[in-house]
Amino acid sequence: AGTAIEWYDYFLYGSAAALVFPKVFFDDLGTTAGTLTSLATFGVAFFFRPLGGLVFGHFGDRLSRKQALVTTLLIMGLSTFAIGLLPTVGQVGVLAPVLLILLRMFQGIGLGGEWGGAALLIVESAPAERRGLYASACQLGVPAGQLASAGLVTLFSLLPEDQFLSWGWRIPFLFSAVLVTFGLYLRTRLPEPPEFQALKDAQQRPKLPIAEVLRHAKKPTVLLIFVQAAATIGYYLFTVYSLSYVESDLGKPKSWALTGVLVGAALLLVAMPLYAALSDRIGRRPVYFGGTLFIAVFAIPFFWMLDTGNRYLIPLAIILALVFGYGPTGALNSVLYAEQYPTRYRYTGASVSYQMSSVVAGAPAPLVAAALVSATGSSLAVSWYVIGAAVVSLICIAALTETHRTQLTME
Least confident range from 18-27, 33-42, 70-79, 352-361: namely 33-42
At 410 the pLDDT is 61
Euclidean distance between CA atoms 347 and 338, whole angstroms? 8
At 96 the pLDDT is 86
The whole-model pTM stands at: 0.83
Euclidean distance between CA atoms 139 and 332, whole angstroms? 8
In single-letter form, the type of residue at position 280 comes to D
Are 116 and 60 a contacting pair, CB within 8 Å?
A: yes
* In the predicted structure, residue 363 carries a pLDDT above the cut 80: no
More confident residue, 405 or 81: 81
CA angle 125, 127, 129 (to 5 degrees): 145
* In the predicted structure, residue 247 carries a pLDDT above the cut 80: yes
Query: 410: helix, coil or strand?
Result: coil
Least confident range from 192-201, 290-299, 351-360: namely 192-201
- Averaged pLDDT for residues 5-28: 79
Euclidean distance between CA atoms 228 and 333, whole angstroms? 9
The dihedral built from the CA positions of residue 3, 225, 334 and 113, taken in this order, carries a sign that is negative
Confidence of residue 332 (pLDDT cuts 50, 70, 90): very high
In single-letter form, the type of residue at position 369 comes to A
H-type alpha helices, 283-407: 284-307, 313-320, 327-330, 333-338, 346-357, 365-376, 380-399
At 242 the pLDDT is 84
Map out the domains of the chain as residue ranges.
2-399
At 411 the pLDDT is 60
In single-letter form, the type of residue at position 110 comes to G
In single-letter form, the type of residue at position 386 comes to V
- Averaged pLDDT for residues 325-352: 91
Residue among 11, 25, 5, 172 at smallest CA distance from 74: 5
Euclidean distance between CA atoms 354 and 3, whole angstroms? 15
Euclidean distance between CA atoms 349 and 182, whole angstroms? 29
Are 6 and 145 a contacting pair, CB within 8 Å?
A: yes
Residue among 197, 254, 245, 218 at smallest CA distance from 367: 245
What's the 3-state SS for 105-152? HHHHHHHHHHHHHHHHHHHCCCCHHHHHHHHHHHHCHHHHHHHHHHHH
CATH architecture, domain defined by 2-399: Up-down Bundle (1.20)
- Averaged pLDDT for residues 392-399: 96
Residue among 217, 301, 310, 216 at smallest CA distance from 257: 310
Are 134 and 342 a contacting pair, CB within 8 Å?
A: no
Residue among 109, 103, 121 at smallest CA distance from 71: 109
